[in-house]
């Protein structure tokens, strides 16, 4: 699906010059897709050219979160032009079917879609290509990681032990596949009262850091549980663009900078 030459990923119709990053989680419901989108927006705000492949074929949500309404444009019989939202090029099943329609396909067909997204799309020159992986360590995420052996992994978890134990399996799977783990993002780290500023650690504290230490990687950031992030995602907005001076926006930018520094 690609060739690695001099540290750059050569695609059929484009290139990725700095990194291919798979955003993974041990389970659903931890905010993986929201983090994928806001990480992409943060990288874009820092001057990078970014694309997203929504590899969670059955559970696609990237178009909704990114506010994507356009469909891919057919250039010829073998090439698609990806739609763009907030400066991010995107390919997702959500752009090809109705949002509420189920994808009732068997695994070989699902794997074929990922290959099409990689080889039949006019990506052009990108700095980063992000993959929103299906949650867990089942056949789909395993096969995707096997197809992308040079991609780097960012693991999303919430702080509680039940979540970090499951998320830790992703790191161990990455090790077995010899995929580098860039780090851990702890989501829903705390709830901060909008009136008094007091932080409440609803799901416990320190789970992401402890997991990062076990995996011998870095805790990239800790993101709060905020209604504004959820509301923006539901409306196809990004907190990075809506409230750039907020603490959570600054944390997303910090995470993006840490990832960029790893590719210097």
**How high does pLDDT run on average in the chain?**
90
pLDDT (tens digit, 9 = 90+) per residue, 225-248? 998 999 999 999 999 999 999 999
Q: How many CA atoms lie within 13 A of 147 on its CB side?
A: 22
Binding residue ranges for ATP: 26-33
Residue 84's pLDDT is 96
Binding residue ranges: 26-33
pLDDT (tens digit, 9 = 90+) per residue, 178-200? 999 999 999 999 998 777 878 89
204: left (phi over 0), alpha (psi -120 to 50) or beta: left
The closest alpha carbon to 22, from 113, 155, 147, 111, belongs to: 155
Distance set, CA 149 to CA 4, 41, 64, 178, 213 (Å): 11, 25, 28, 7, 23
Name which of 9-23, 31-45, 47-61 the model is least confident about.
Answer: 47-61
**Cα(65)–Cα(238) distance, rounded to whole angstroms?**
8
User: Count of CB atoms within 10 A of residue 217's CB?
Assistant: 19
88-91 and 14-25: which strand pairing?
Answer: unpaired
- What the block records as the tokens of 12 is 């059929």
Q: Over 90: is that where the pLDDT of 59 sits?
A: no
User: CA angle, corner 134, sides to 43 and 78, nearest 5?
Assistant: 75
Report which of residues 40 and 58 the model is more confident about: 40
Looking at residue 121, the DSSP 8-state letter turns out to be B
DSSP code per residue over 47-102: T--EEEE---STT--HHHHHT--PPPEEEETTEEEPPEETTEEEE-GGGTS-TT--
Residue 96's pLDDT is 64
Q: Considering all CA atoms of the chain, what is the largest pairwise distance in Å, rounded to the nearest integer?
A: 58
Q: What is the pTM of this model?
A: 0.92
**Cα(22)–Cα(9) distance, rounded to whole angstroms?**
14
**Cα(177)–Cα(104) distance, rounded to whole angstroms?**
28
Please give the domain boundaries of the chain with CATH numbers for all domains. Answer: 3-261 (3.40.50.300)
pLDDT (tens digit, 9 = 90+) per residue, 79-123? 899 999 999 999 998 766 554 555 544 555 556 788 889 999 999
């Amino acid at each position: 699906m690609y060739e690695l030459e001099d540290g750059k990923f050569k695609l059929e119709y484009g290139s990725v010059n700095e990194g291919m990053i798979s955003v993974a989680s041990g389970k659903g419901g931890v905010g993986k897709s929201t983090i994928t989108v806001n990480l992409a927006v943060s990288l874009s705000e820092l001057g990078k050219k970014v694309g997203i492949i929504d590899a969670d074929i059955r559970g696609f949500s990237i178009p909704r979160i990114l506010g994507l309404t356009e469909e891919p444009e057919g250039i010829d019989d073998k090439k698609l032009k990806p739609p763009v939202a907030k400066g991010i090029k995107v390919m997702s099943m959500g752009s090809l079917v109705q949002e509420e329609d189920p994808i009732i396909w068997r695994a070989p067909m699902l794997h074929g879609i990922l290959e099409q997204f990689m080889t039949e799309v006019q990506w052009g020159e990108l700095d980063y290509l992000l993959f929103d992986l299906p949650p867990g360590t089942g056949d789909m995420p395993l096969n995707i990681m096997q197809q992308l052996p040079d991609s780097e992994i960012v693991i999303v978890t919430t702080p509680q032990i039940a979540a970090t134990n499951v998320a830790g399996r992703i790191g161990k799977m990455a090790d077995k596949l010899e995929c580098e783990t860039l780090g851990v993002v702890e989501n829903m780290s705390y709830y901060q009262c909008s009136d008094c500023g007091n932080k409440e650690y609803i799901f416990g504290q320190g789970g992401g850091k402890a997991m990062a230490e076990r995996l011998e990687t870095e805790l990239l950031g800790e993101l709060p549980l905020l209604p504004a992030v959820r509301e923006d995602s539901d409306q196809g907005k990004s907190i990075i663009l809506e409230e750039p001076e907020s603490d959570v926006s600054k944390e997303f930018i910090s995470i993006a900078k840490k990832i960029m520094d790893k590719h210097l």
